[in-house]
Amino acid sequence: MKVLLTIVLSLITSNAFSFSLNNTVGAAFSKNTVPVNIADNCTNLGVSSAELLSMVSDAGTMYWNTVSTSRLRITAGSVVSVDSKFYTDKVCTTNSGSCEPNTDLTVASDILITCNGDTTDNFPNAQKTVLAITIPNNISDRTINGALIAINDRSDNIFQDQSRAKMVSVLAHEIGHAVGLGHSPVGDSLMYYTLVPVRDRLGWDDIDGITYLYPREQPFGCGTIEDINNSGKGAPLLFVLLMPFLLIQLLKLRDRFSHSFS
């Protein structure tokens, strides 16, 4: 019995993996399906807007849409025209450790992928190998309304040198940021900070992170985020553990009543 108890206790205190978020409030989109639109302002990526849209679709089906425990579904939106500021302006007004979003580039809804050729703040020479900058720049309380992905469109950008599969994984990584995830410290995860030799699936950190932000609520849930504060952390587990006991007691009671009436 002691052995069994020890095993059960060790299971209850198990540890998992190590994803992070990119905002302090754990914000997420409230809707289940989030379209990703493409701005028609790219000049140096070597791929068309339509091809980018196709890659976004693949980023959804190959990566984020494969998580059965997450309600989030990424879809390809449409090619849109945007203000020229999205190409020329800096994404963050300050960027000393945390980003203060440039309000001129606020995305009203969903996710917008724009090209950006700003070589002063976003992609200066010292950071010309940065592939993109992403920020959910329209957040209300704990809800992301819109997010911006700015792809480095310098003439010497390294996005254009990647294979299509790598481009898809880059877009999937940036979409991960757009929906609220931060980086993972391990290279097996899509949310690792840099490209790895082979990337064609999510890692455990990605799956756990997207499940945390976008938990699925079947069969009766409507897909809302439901975080449990610290005081209620044990409630669901307690319910599960007590369920068989309660069931047995109910059956015993029923048995007792049926015998007393017979």
Partner 1 sequence: MKSFNLVLLSVLFVVSSNAYSAGIKDSYLGLGSYTLLPGKVQTDENGDTNGIFDLEPYVLGGLEYQVYEDWSLIGEAGLVKPGSGRDPKISKMTYFLLLSGAYNFMDWVFRLGTGISMTRISSDGGTQTLNNGTGTTDFPMPDGASVSQNLITTFGVEYYFHQEMSTRLEGHYFNLASDDAKTLSYTLSFSYHFGNIFSDSKKVRKR
Subset of residues 222 to 261 that bind partner 1, contact rule: CB under 8 A: 225-230, 233, 236-237, 240-241, 243-244, 247-248, 251-252, 254-255, 258
> What angle is formed at CA 204 by the lines to CA 199 and CA 205, rounded to 5 degrees?
95
The verdict on 18 binding partner 1 (CB under 8 A) reads: yes
Identify the three-state secondary structure at position 10: helix
Which of 26/104 has CB closer to partner 1?
A: 26
Which of 49/62 has CB closer to partner 1?
A: 62
The verdict on 198 binding partner 1 (CB under 8 A) reads: yes
C-alpha–C-alpha distance, residues 2 and 182, integer Å: 41
Which of 71/115 has CB closer to partner 1?
A: 71
Q: Identify which of 127, 133, 142 has the alpha carbon closest to the alpha carbon of residue 115.
A: 133
Q: Per-residue contact track with partner 1, 65 to 104, x per CB under 8 A?
A: xxxxxx--x-----------------------xx------
Question: For 181, which DSSP code?
Answer: B
C-alpha distances in Å from residue 258, one per residue of 224, 227, 233, 255: 43, 43, 39, 5
Interface with partner 1 by CB under 8 A: which range of 83-91, 143-151, 153-161, 203-211?
A: 203-211
The verdict on 9 binding partner 1 (CB under 8 A) reads: no
The verdict on 158 binding partner 1 (CB under 8 A) reads: no
Residue 137's contacts (CB-CB under 8 Å, 6 or more residues apart) are: 91, 101, 102, 103, 105, 106, 107, 146, 147, 148
Q: Provide, rounded to whole angstroms, the least separation between the CB of residue 25 and partner 1.
A: 8
The verdict on 212 binding partner 1 (CB under 8 A) reads: yes
Q: Are strands 99-101 and 110-116 parallel, antiparallel or unpaired?
A: unpaired
C-alpha–C-alpha distance, residues 143 and 105, integer Å: 18
Q: Provide, rounded to whole angstroms, the least separation between the CB of residue 50 and partner 1.
A: 22
The verdict on 200 binding partner 1 (CB under 8 A) reads: yes
Which of 17/143 has CB closer to partner 1?
A: 17
